[in-house]
Amino acid sequence: MERSFAREVELLGKGNGEIFHGEGILAVTKALLQSGVGYVGGYQGSPVSHLLDVMVQAREYLDTLGVHVEACTNEAAACAMLAASVNYPVRGAVTWKSIVGTNVASDALSNLASPGVRGGALIVVGEDYGEGSSVVQERTHAFAMKSSVCLLDPRPDLAHVVRMVEHAFPLSEVSSTPVMLQLRIRACHLQGSFVCKDNVAPALSTRHLMATPAPHNPSHMSHPPFTFAHERLKVDERLPAARCYIVDHGINELFEGDIDDVGLIVQGGLFNNLMRSLATAGLIGDRGASRLPILVLNATYPLVPDQLVAFCANRRAVLVLEEGHPEFIEFELAAVLGRAGSTCAVRGKATMAKTGEYTAEVIVRGLERFAAEFVPSLSTASAVAWREEVDAVRARASALLATPVPVRPPGFCIGCPERPVFSALKLVERELGPRHVAADIGCHSFAMFEPFFTGNSILGYGMGLASAAGVGPISEKRPLATVGDGGFWHNGFLSGVTAAVKNGSNSVLLIFKNGYTSATGTQELVSTPTAARRDDAGGESMTATDTTIEKVLQGVGVNWLRTVHSHDVSEMKATLADAFTTPERGLKVIVAEGECQLERQRRLQSYLARRHAAGDRVLRVRYGIDEDVCTGDHACIRLSGCPSLTLKNPENPLRVDPVTTVNADCVGCGLCGELAQAAALCPSFYRVEVVTQGSAWERFIAAVRSWATCALLPQ
């Protein structure tokens, strides 16, 4: 039972004059429908997963508009969908997580941008940058420049974001250029309101089919000799047309200030942080406006040279607020002003921070330095006082803690089927020694942290086996590569498995088959069992009902193939040892089968609720630890790492060291008991079956046991 977006789907149907209230990414989704989008695709990833998830569940409503929705197998496939807009006057939108998603899509993106588009083509990218990012630190801006596509970075206000989406399509059409809309995490989850418009049914759609295809036109394809002409058109016609649209429709915004001999140039997505920082630094006037003039770049590529020169005219200096490295906007601004002969000084990374997210604290410190250099008469006492207060709070916290705050690494969910596999791997390494482990993107990458410390490299989503290709020939021990079923279908099958079979690789591949793309929101895959099969599974694991992955592996010639239930630690340990030591050559694949616990619990809760409502017997399993038997060596925690395994002080006053206990978060996955047997741990674990609405016999036995227990207790 997947998460329901019923409320969000209902919001998509709001009409003209109605008020929408919700989060930013859903506002973008509504804006797409108001813009007459004809098709939507994408690949999920934070912070834009919500867009595609809602669209998929809104298919029934979107069918009434004639809008096609498709969840793609990867970002390259999503970008390739926009080929429809290359040939036909139909608007399309796709979405993915940047920068990793843009990396995957770059081949299709180049071939999309070269010939240009007829219908508006919009790419919504979730910019995930800064200390809390889950990806490598690179910028989408580089791809916009490389492929000469427009890049919008809207000011975080729901009405303004909707306006930018609605402008993105005509901007794309007048310039024949794809447009990227960059949304940071805060913009995606920003709460706000805007006045809706009616959704627009596309003229060319699933309800209004075209009779004949577009006429053959080789110049509209990214193939030599036309690619040279495409490059000339980009420079001479498309980008100038985009700049004209940006100016004519006021995409970038100017906010005047009373201190007009200096100014600020800021990416639109940073505007809210900037305004908060100006208020903190005491640089907000009586009417709530900035005292320093601000040019807000809602379109960060292409920049408009005349607009930049006009803003910098008669100013002694401007400060550029631009997140990330390198400083593309600052470099271009300096070049534009240099060509124009402007004497305005440009400050950017040297005054702000060279890398990282521009939080309010970073901006306040930068504003303080900028004012000290160019407006020394301007009081920044508020900024100094605030900064000193922040430093004092940190100092007090450090003094109270006495020691640094313990590191809290990310880890697996309680009951995750991937944890027992790595427990089995640790047990195998005790006997056979460590080996190179080529890790991969996904939940299983958490094994690099405590308590498993497993993994030597991560090279990209689905690239684990491919990254082991150079290690195997120079290693005494066979390398192990890991991949989830999401990564397998995204890229791992073609880049890893087929290459390994073709080249006779002797590596071991471990596939975590949990039934979903779990790390990005448990989206369904080609190998996800149907809803009917999930319902039939009830309280059991449902992954065994689908063998698509196994059949595909056999189809390309994988001979050594084993499927093992993830929670069977003993069997998994034996299978891993066999794969590492067998004399048989060729790729060896182990499929670790176990349903994602998040999805299983959603399905199980619904299943148990139905049984309870029907008056049927309901059985739940929990595990516990007898503290009188527990030795206190905590080997179970070191081998499992389950968050429900924790420490407590023993009730026995003669025992000093803490003992292990199982808290109420336990979902009864059984790993504790499996480890106790597979690792020959102490027998302190016990299994409890909690029965609700039991049979008459069970209720009678329970009553007898309760009476006997009370009778035997000392009075």
Residue 437: strand pairing partners: 480
**Which has the minimum average pLDDT: 342-351, 374-383, 561-570?**
374-383
Burial class of 670 by CB neighbour count within 10 A (0 to 12, 13 to 18, 19+) = middle
Cα gap 165→644, rounded to integer Å: 45
pLDDT at 405 > cutoff 80: no
Residue 317: strand pairing partners: 262, 345
For the stretch 313-323, pLDDT in tens is: 999 999 999 99
Spatial contact of 383 and 367, defined as CB atoms under 8 Å apart = yes
pTM: 0.89
Angle, alpha carbons 549-551-557 (nearest 5°): 105
For the stretch 258-268, pLDDT in tens is: 998 999 999 99
Same domain for 449 and 560: yes
Q: Which of 639, 636, 633, 627 is nearest to 684 (CA)?
A: 627
- Residue that the structure tokens 């690494």 belong to: 409
Ramachandran bin of 269, using left for φ above 0, alpha for ψ from -120 to 50, beta for the remaining angles: alpha
Same domain for 438 and 362: no
For the stretch 595-609, pLDDT in tens is: 998 888 888 888 888
**Which has the minimum average pLDDT: 25-39, 70-84, 170-184, 279-293?**
279-293
User: Which two tokens mark 11?
Assistant: 């919001």
Express as a percent the part of the chain with pLDDT over 70.
96
For the stretch 266-303, pLDDT in tens is: 999 999 999 999 999 889 887 789 999 999 999 999 99
pLDDT at 479 > cutoff 80: yes
Averaged over 570-593, what is the pLDDT? 96
pLDDT at 435 > cutoff 50: yes
Cα gap 466→521, rounded to integer Å: 25
User: Which two tokens mark 229?
Assistant: 């002409």
What pLDDT, on the 0 to 100 scale, is given for residue 695? 86
Same domain for 695 and 674: yes
- Residue that the structure tokens 């006779």 belong to: 504
Instruction: Print the domain residue range for 690.
Output: 617-712
What pLDDT, on the 0 to 100 scale, is given for residue 273? 94
- Residue that the structure tokens 């100013």 belong to: 315
pLDDT at 103 > cutoff 80: yes
Q: Give the confidence band of 534 by pLDDT, cuts at 50, 70, 90.
A: low
What pLDDT, on the 0 to 100 scale, is given for residue 30? 95
Cα gap 714→64, rounded to integer Å: 73
User: Which two tokens mark 653?
Assistant: 């006053």
Q: Which of 269, 294, 297 is nearest to 283 (CA)?
A: 294
CA distances from 66 to 82, 90, 202, 580 (A): 17, 12, 7, 53
Same domain for 555 and 696: no
Spatial contact of 150 and 172, defined as CB atoms under 8 Å apart = yes
Q: Cβ–Cβ contacts within 10 Å for residue 241, how many?
A: 16
Averaged over 18-43, what is the pLDDT? 95
Cα gap 345→374, rounded to integer Å: 10
Mention every residue, 6+ apart, whose C-beta is less than 8 A from residue 295.
Answer: 252, 253, 254, 263, 264, 265, 266, 307, 308, 311
Q: Which segments within 155-252 are labelled E, that is strand? A: 179-184, 191-195
Domain containing residue 349: CATH number: 3.40.50.920
pLDDT at 27 > cutoff 90: yes
What pLDDT, on the 0 to 100 scale, is given for residue 436? 96
pLDDT at 26 > cutoff 70: yes
Q: Sign of the C-alpha dihedral, residues 529, 533, 539, 542?
A: negative
Residue 563: strand pairing partners: 591
Longest dimension (CA), the chain: 99
In a domain? residue 407: no
Domain containing residue 573: CATH number: 3.40.50.970
pLDDT at 92 > cutoff 70: yes
In a domain? residue 28: yes
Cα gap 346→335, rounded to integer Å: 10
Strand-by-strand arrangement of the 253-255 sheet: 253-255, 294-297, 262-267, 317-321, 345-347
Averaged over 212-228, what is the pLDDT? 89
Question: How many H-runs (helices) and E-runs (strands) does the chain carry?
Answer: 28, 26
Spatial contact of 271 and 297, defined as CB atoms under 8 Å apart = no
CB crowding 41-63: b at 16 or more within 10 Å, else e: bbbbbbbbbbbbbbbbbbeebbe
> Backbone phi, then psi, for 203, in 5-degree steps?
-70, -40
What pLDDT, on the 0 to 100 scale, is given for residue 86? 94
Which secondary structure element, helix H or strand E, spans residue 58, and what is its range?
A: none
Burial class of 430 by CB neighbour count within 10 A (0 to 12, 13 to 18, 19+) = exposed
Q: Indicate the pairing of strand 437-439 with strand 480-484.
A: parallel
Burial class of 313 by CB neighbour count within 10 A (0 to 12, 13 to 18, 19+) = exposed
Same domain for 634 and 545: no
Same domain for 319 and 459: no
What pLDDT, on the 0 to 100 scale, is given for residue 275? 95
Mention every residue, 6+ apart, whose C-beta is less than 8 A from residue 473.
Answer: none
In a domain? residue 610: no
Report the Cα 172 to chain-centroid distance in Å.
Answer: 27
What pLDDT, on the 0 to 100 scale, is given for residue 167? 98
Averaged over 138-143, what is the pLDDT? 93
What angle do helix axes 239-248 and 158-175 make, rounded to 10 degrees? 140
Q: Which of 447, 440, 434 is nearest to 465 (CA)?
A: 440
In a domain? residue 567: yes
Q: Give the confidence band of 1 by pLDDT, cuts at 50, 70, 90.
A: very low
Amino acid at residue number 263: G
Cα gap 389→395, rounded to integer Å: 10
Q: Give the confidence band of 4 by pLDDT, cuts at 50, 70, 90.
A: low
User: Which two tokens mark 208?
Assistant: 């209004």
Same domain for 577 and 698: no
Spatial contact of 155 and 183, defined as CB atoms under 8 Å apart = no
Residue 345: strand pairing partners: 317
Same domain for 438 and 376: no
State which of 401, 436, 471 marks the end of a domain: 401
What pLDDT, on the 0 to 100 scale, is given for residue 559? 95
Angle, alpha carbons 203-207-209 (nearest 5°): 70
Cα gap 320→294, rounded to integer Å: 10
Return the SS3 of 617: coil
What pLDDT, on the 0 to 100 scale, is given for residue 715? 67
**Which has the minimum average pLDDT: 143-157, 215-229, 678-692?**
678-692
What pLDDT, on the 0 to 100 scale, is given for residue 263? 96
User: Which two tokens mark 131?
Assistant: 């200390």
Cα gap 332→348, rounded to integer Å: 12
For the stretch 622-673, pLDDT in tens is: 888 888 888 888 888 888 888 888 888 888 888 888 888 888 888 888 787 7
Cα gap 428→434, rounded to integer Å: 9
State which of 347, 368, 401 marks the end of a domain: 401
Cα gap 671→582, rounded to integer Å: 27
Same domain for 631 and 673: yes
Domain containing residue 644: CATH number: 3.30.70
Spatial contact of 78 and 71, defined as CB atoms under 8 Å apart = no
Q: Give the confidence band of 108 by pLDDT, cuts at 50, 70, 90.
A: very high
Same domain for 277 and 376: yes
Return the SS3 of 467: helix
Spatial contact of 690 and 619, defined as CB atoms under 8 Å apart = yes
User: Which two tokens mark 163?
Assistant: 């306006």
State which of 572, 600, 628 marks the end of a domain: 600
In a domain? residue 576: yes
Strand-by-strand arrangement of the 39-42 sheet: 68-71, 39-42, 92-98, 121-127, 179-184, 150-152, 299-301
Please state, rounded to an integer, the average pLDDT across all residues of the chain.
90
pLDDT at 114 > cutoff 50: yes
Same domain for 165 and 36: yes
pLDDT at 544 > cutoff 80: no
Q: Give the confidence band of 307 by pLDDT, cuts at 50, 70, 90.
A: very high
In a domain? residue 414: no
Q: How many residues are given for the chain?
A: 715
What pLDDT, on the 0 to 100 scale, is given for residue 641? 81
In a domain? residue 662: yes
Same domain for 47 and 164: yes
Q: Indicate the pairing of strand 294-297 with strand 253-255.
A: antiparallel
In a domain? residue 408: no
Q: Indicate the pairing of strand 150-152 with strand 299-301.
A: antiparallel
Q: How many domains does the chain have?
A: 4
